[in-house]
Structure 1
Amino acid sequence: MPITHAKSSIATPISLSQRLIVAVGATLLGLCLVYFAGFSHIEAVHNAAHDTRHSAAFPCH
């Protein structure tokens, strides 16, 4: 059985602009998900979001 060695990987730093792009993208995705769940006409999705807000002690009314 051959012995294999794991390669060491070096993390490359990402620039501020790349971090901002990721942060803005994550924020937009989160806002879209909250908007979809909050205003969904699918009752199960809306109720799940509503119950989750209550279980997290987040006021929603």
Structure 2
Amino acid sequence: MQSQATIAGTTRATLLSKGIQLASALFLGIVVLYGSGFVQSSEVHNAAHDMRHAAGFPCH
């Protein structure tokens, strides 16, 4: 049987891991969304532009 300290430590580690995963996914999403808006390829730029409008973000 695990002690209370071990269970609390495991819970904290799990929450920290989930927080890091969430922050990483958010950062990657921002990089992909806004990074693709500055790409010179017109197709990628237009796709990102259309998605910004679909999501309700004004861009001009």
**Is TM > 0.5 for Structure 1 vs Structure 2?**
yes
Aligned match of 1:53 = 52
Structure 1 CA distance, aligned partners of 2:31 and 2:56? 22
Q: Which has the higher helix share?
A: 2
**TM-score, normalization by structure 1:** 0.64
Give the aligned CA root-mean-square deviation in angstroms.
1.8
Stretches of structure 1 that go unaligned for 5 or more consecutive residues are: 1-12
Instruction: Decide which structure has the larger Cα Rg and report it.
Output: 1
**TM-score, normalization by structure 2:** 0.65
**Percentage of pairs with the same residue:** 45
Stretches of structure 2 that go unaligned for 5 or more consecutive residues are: 1-10
Structure 1 CA distance, aligned partners of 2:55 and 2:43? 18
Aligned residues: 49
